Structure 1
Amino acid sequence: MKKETPFRLTGLLLMTCGLLLITCFELLRQTFNYPDVLRENTGSILEKIAQAGTPGQLMWYGMTLGSVGILFGVLLLHYCLVSFGVRYRVLITGLGLLAGLFNALGYLRWVFLVPALAASYVNPDADPATKEAVSVVFNAFHLYFGFSVGEHLGFLFLGAWGWLLSVALWPLTSFPRWLSWVGGISSAGTILGILEGAGWAAAAPVVEISASVLIVWITLLGGYLLRVKKPVDQAQLTVNNEPSPTASSTERGPDQRSFAADNNPRRNDATFGFYPTKKYLFLKTVFLLFALAPAVPVQAQSEGLLGKRKGPGFAKYEVGINGFRNPSVGLEFRRRRFSVHAGYYPTIISKNEQGKNVTTSFIRTGLSYWFLPIYAKKHEPSSFYVSASYVRGLDRDWKNDGGLLSEAGFRWVIWKGLNLRLGVAVLTSPGRAIKVNPTPGIGWSFFIR
């Protein structure tokens, strides 16, 4: 077996599970108003579960499979951490396994137990006593497996795993610094989700956005693991995963750090064997938690987010066909760092007479700015973006009414023109409450250099 194979298997599994979780979460949000539905009364939840039927069960089953897949991904990732020489890999792996287990247990109740309870609750022959008994059973499992196990322990251990893993990736040259930034910040936001149970209402939108970004981060981590080509030769490491003190720089191999050759605490030809001091870890940890941006955009324009340019820069022109709602179902044209877009934009921000969430349609047109490119060797760089758009409603209570949609996010160019996006959009309009939504997207672009 080639040395790269475990890295590729790990990357493929993490990417697959991440995409599965993203897809199922978005479908549940669109059709079931998840996770806001969890804050409604028991009768309303059970009625919506009964209306969702088999498609709803399949979505929850997908969330469960994604969490179980993360368990196996964490086990494979442990091998990668050994090769990278991460000292506290056992702690990272343990936290990851517990996070996957707690989340799987939390989602699993929606696959079999809750649909059965919902069917009994909406049964026309069910008397008030039966409905009350069903409500008691649902609330018991909802409080234990939902709030206690899934939302409290699940968020706590998922956030702790992501945060420690982000710190571990920081000194490794196989991974860009921005990956540690995104992972650390989204993990910290996910941990804050446990404060919702303590009465802090603001934790709800924070954890919804942070957990979504963290799943995207796991997917991106899988993509970078697929690209690892020179893992450490285990024969060159001692039992403690430290390079032999008598070995020369040429004997250490291409993926181990030579301290005598370079005192730079971050970069060398390879840094798999780099073990930071406690002071270094502390300073980086504080920096990772409280800083808001990984690099200065001006520097990124000339060198890129990863330092010296390693591939082609932004194409002079780009024509994009977007198939999902980021920025819209429509077309986009970019010249250098500025682009214009227009198309159909669906989102859930309205309710019907029965109080059920429904999709509201808009026409969206606006301008985007692209920055902090992450250069690839053979294709268009991935990058961050900000945009401002005018939206005009086509139906519901937004018909013929307009608003300003501000958005920030990241676009990942996967292969040739195929790209994925994830952003956070804020919709404002005079006389209306501010709406905040995650904005996933997928599209294909044609680049002209």
Structure 2
Amino acid sequence: MIPGLALILLVLVLNAAFTVLSVLFGYDDVLRLPPGEVMARFHAAGPALVVAWIAFAAGALAFAWIGPMAERRAGLSGQGWLAPAAALAMAAGLLRWVVAVPVLAAAHQAPGATEVTQVAMAAAYIALHQFAGAGVGEVLGQVLLCAWTLRLSLALAPRQPWLAAFGLLLLPLWLLGLSEPLAAGLPALPVVEAAPIAFMAWEAWLVAIGLAWIVAALRPASPATA
């Protein structure tokens, strides 16, 4: 029962943090705005926004523990490194909002900030966003998460084929979602904003798995298995 509860709790924490970020910061549409406007919004939101980012990153890090637990519950053996690697990559991307962006935003929005300072802070923000956010958090994190989803789906196939099929159907969405962060280096690449849909569907999949495992744990054992 614990793996199922852990999956559902993970989804609840991630959604709670995402909701706060949406209200305070307009996430994730805000990422497509000019750097100066992003930093102005960030600075205006205050410490509550940083706390929300910490919660979001903590949820991502929790997947390093919950992912391997789910693998073991699905019958997989060996060292499951995909979930911890994905968790670290995504958390590294999210933590830029905790340790780096506050400094850049404060300097950009300082009362005496010159145009040169603001341009420098905007350039630093772009570089940080493209490397830590788009490169490490999105591209690397999502590729690893996609691989973990494939691994778990194949493990679920013998006993829960419908859950396995749901997981496998998510893979094209993950791949399409990579077009947005990769577009900076490949301008000719058509951009499909599929990542938000993939994440929401992935979370629904985790909840479905969690509920199935909880129901299985609560179901009385048959005389034969007893």
Do the two structures share a fold, i.e. TM-score over 0.5? yes
Indicate which of 25, 30, 52 corresponds to 1:32.
25
Which position in structure 2 is the counterpart of 1:286? none
Are 2:178 and 1:189 aligned? no
Shift of 1:56: 1.5
Alpha-carbon separation, structure 2, partners of 1:25 and 1:187: 22
- Aligned partner of 1:48 in structure 2 is 41
- Per the TM alignment, residue 74 of structure 1 is displaced from its structure 2 partner at its CA by 1.6
Show the 5 A alignment for 1:258-277: none
Cα shift at 1:43:
0.5
Secondary structure of the 2:215 match is coil
Deviation at 1:254, TM superposition (A): 4.5
**Greater fraction strand:** 1
Number of equivalent positions: 216
Residues 8 and 210 in structure 2, CA contact (< 8 A), matched pair in contact too: yes
Alpha-carbon distance, 1:53 to partner: 1.4
The aligned counterpart of 2:221 is none
| 2:172 maps to 1:179 | no
Q: Which residue of 2 aligns with 1:214?
A: 202
Could you tell me which amino acid in structure 2 is paired with residue 215 of structure 1? E
Unaligned runs of 5+ in 1: 1-7, 231-252, 256-449
Structure 1 position 201, deviation (Å): 4.5
1:370 corresponding residue in structure 2: none
- In structure 1, C-alpha distance between the alignment counterparts of 2:86 and 2:36, rounded to whole Å: 30
Q: CA deviation at 1:50?
A: 0.9
1:21 to 14, 18, 26: 14
Q: Give the superposed CA RMSD.
A: 2.3
Distance 1:72 1:218 in 2: 15
Residue deviations 1:372-421 (CA, integer Å, cap 9, x gap): xxxxxxxxxxxxxxxxxxxxxxxxxxxxxxxxxxxxxxxxxxxxxxxxxx
Any conservation in 1 of the 2:21–2:49 contact (CA below 8 Å)? yes
User: How many Å apart are 1:129 and its aligned residue?
Assistant: 2.5
Q: Which amino acid aligns with 2:178?
A: I
Work out whether 1:224 is the aligned partner of 2:200: no
The answer on whether the counterparts of 1:166 and 1:180 sit within 8 Å (CA) in structure 2 is: yes
Task: Note the C-alpha offset of 1:124.
Answer: 0.7
Local SS of the residue matching 1:34: coil
In our comparison, the structure showing a higher alpha carbon Rg is 1
- Whichever residue aligns with residue 101 of structure 1, its letter is L
Task: Classify the secondary structure of the residue corresponding to 1:225.
Answer: helix
In 1, the alpha carbon distance for the partners of 2:203 and 2:102 equals: 26
Tell me, in whole angstroms, the C-alpha distance in 1 between the residues paired with 2:174 and 2:71.
22
Q: Deviations over 1:217-242 (max 9, x none)?
A: 22332233333439xxxxxxxxxxxx
Larger proportion of helix: 2
Matched, 1:101 2:88: yes
Following superposition of structure 1 onto structure 2, how do residues 99-248 of structure 1 map, counting pairs within 5 Å?
99-172=86-159, 175=160, 177-196=161-180, 197-198=182-183, 199=187, 200-204=189-193, 206-229=194-217
Q: TM-score, normalised by structure 2?
A: 0.85
- Decide whether aligned partners of structure 1 residues 208 and 24 sit closer, same or farther in structure 2, where only a CA change above 3 A counts: same
Structure 2 alignment gaps of length 5 or more = 219-223
The residue identity in structure 1 corresponding to 2:192 is A
**Counterpart of 2:153 in 1: which secondary structure?**
helix
Q: Distance in 2 between matches of 1:222 and 1:108?
A: 28
Change (3 A) 1:219 1:113: farther
